[in-house]
Amino acid sequence: MKALLAHPSLSRHSILPAVVILVLLVALPFAVWEFIQTGEFYMFSHRFWPDVVARFHGPGRLRFIFQPTVAIILGARDGVKDRRAGNPPFLWGLVFHPAGRPGLLRGALASVRNLVAIAILLDVISQFLIFRMVHPGAALVLGPVLIGLPYAASRALTNRISGWRWRNPSTVQVSPPPTDGECTRIVGRVSAGQGRDLPSRDIQGASAAAQRDGRRQDVSPERR
Checking if the pLDDT of 215 tops 50, the result is no
Q: What is the total count of domains within the chain? A: 2
Tell me the pLDDT tens digit for each residue of 109-165. Answer: 888 999 999 999 999 999 999 999 999 999 999 999 999 999 999 999 999 888 776
Checking if the pLDDT of 28 tops 60, the result is yes
CA nearest to 134, candidates 149, 145, 123, 142: 123
For residues 190 and 152, membership in a common domain is answered with no
Enclosing domain of residue 58 = 12-167
Checking if the pLDDT of 216 tops 50, the result is no
Give the C-alpha distances (Å, rounded to integers) separating 45 from 84, 95, 107, 138. Answer: 46, 32, 35, 12
For residues 87 and 123, membership in a common domain is answered with yes
CA distance 27 to 134: 6
Q: What percent of the chain has pLDDT over 70?
A: 67
pLDDT at residue 100 in the model? 81
Considering the entire predicted model, what is its pTM?
0.66
Tell me the pLDDT tens digit for each residue of 159-168. Answer: 988 877 655 5
For residues 85 and 128, membership in a common domain is answered with yes
For residues 130 and 185, membership in a common domain is answered with no
For residues 113 and 142, membership in a common domain is answered with yes
Q: Find the angle CA(140)-CA(135)-CA(144) to the nearest 5 degrees.
A: 15
CA distance 2 to 163: 49
pLDDT at residue 203 in the model? 59
For residues 150 and 53, membership in a common domain is answered with yes
> Rg for the chain (alpha carbons), in Å?
31
